[in-house]
Structure 1
Amino acid sequence: MNIRLLALGLCLLAPVSAAAASFEFVPAPQADLNRMYRVDKVTGEVTSCQYGLQDVGGGIGLTVCFAAGEGAGAQPPSEYGLVATRHTREAGVFRVNYRTGEMSICFVLVKKEQVVCTQQTNPSAEGAAQAPLVGNVPGRAGASATPPQGGRP
């Protein structure tokens, strides 16, 4: 009878263990930004927090968080993760779907106080796929201002 109670207890604890490991955290690669991104590994929802100075009361500061905005909300259930580039001026991270290979880029729109992401996309065999930005994001739809990497000046 004690074995049955032990087995029942272990079965009840299994969902708690699975729920405890349902988020992944990755810092933004930008060297002078203290932003951390969080993804729900099952739903793909992306949020972000960073340290902020507190102007009132002389405290030690506060945590400023950004909720999931356009494109950063829950996706079809799968196995999601976050990947930061090695580009030290990049404030965003990639949301990846480990089951389908799809990717999107997520970043914080400070004016809207939200995390936004492009649509999940997967390159086709015929060439590079382009995922449009979700919504109207001025200044983000053009070509990159980052110079080519690894070449001679």
Structure 2
Amino acid sequence: MSQKKRAASASLRRAVFAGALAACALGATAARAGNYDFAPAPQVDLNRIYRVERVTGEMGACQYGLKEGSVGVTLCYGPGEGGGAQTPGDYRLVTSRHEREGGVFRINDRTGEMSICYVFNEKVVCTPQAR
């Protein structure tokens, strides 16, 4: 094999290797690309889903609502007292097994702190974080 062909072959191998590395990095980023965690309220007769922004801990919730003459509406609630952005962390939601509980636990996996969050006066409010 001539030196020119060997150089072209080596260049091609480097390009393929670089492309494979980029694809792996992109795949890893896409696997963790979701900025939110979601959990349903454990209450069995409530169709509410909560969400938490994973880094800031900001809360929100949405549920289905009836609207005459239509298929219905999505009712969403923004953050209220204690439900806004917190100290940056690694937040997620956990539901209790209590079938009449309308709220969810906001957990900070970095600190072990948690609070309970629920809809009150059309806002998602949360108790102070504690351990």
Of residues 68, 72, 97 in structure 2, which corresponds to 1:61?
Answer: 72
Of residues 115, 126, 129 in structure 2, which corresponds to 1:120?
Answer: 129
Q: Does 1:99 align with 2:110?
A: yes
Structure 2 gap segments, 5+ residues each: 1-10
Alignment of 1:1-153 (within 5 A): 2-3=15-16, 6=19, 10=23, 13=26, 17=30, 20-55=33-68, 58-109=69-120, 111=121, 113-122=122-131
Matched residues in 2 for 1:12 and 1:98: separation? Answer: 24
User: TM-score, normalised to structure 2's length?
Assistant: 0.78
Structure 1 gap segments, 5+ residues each: 123-153
Aligned sequence identity (%): 55
Matched residues in 1 for 2:20 and 2:104: separation? Answer: 42
Matched residues in 1 for 2:97 and 2:25: separation? Answer: 41
Matched residues in 2 for 1:14 and 1:119: separation? Answer: 37
What is the CA deviation profile of residues 33-90 of structure 1, one whole-angstrom value per residue up to 9, with x for unaligned ones? 00000011111111000000012xx211010000111111111111111111111111
Closer, same or farther: CA 19–68 of 1 in aligned 2, 3 Å: farther
User: TM-score, normalised to structure 1's length?
Assistant: 0.68
Aligned length: 118
Q: What's the RMSD between the two structures over aligned residues?
A: 2.1
- Report the structure, 1 or 2, having the larger helix content: 2
Q: Secondary structure at the match of 2:49?
A: strand
Q: Secondary structure at the match of 1:21?
A: coil
Runs of 4+ in 1 over 3 A off after TM superposition: 1-5, 7-16
Bigger Rg, which one: 2
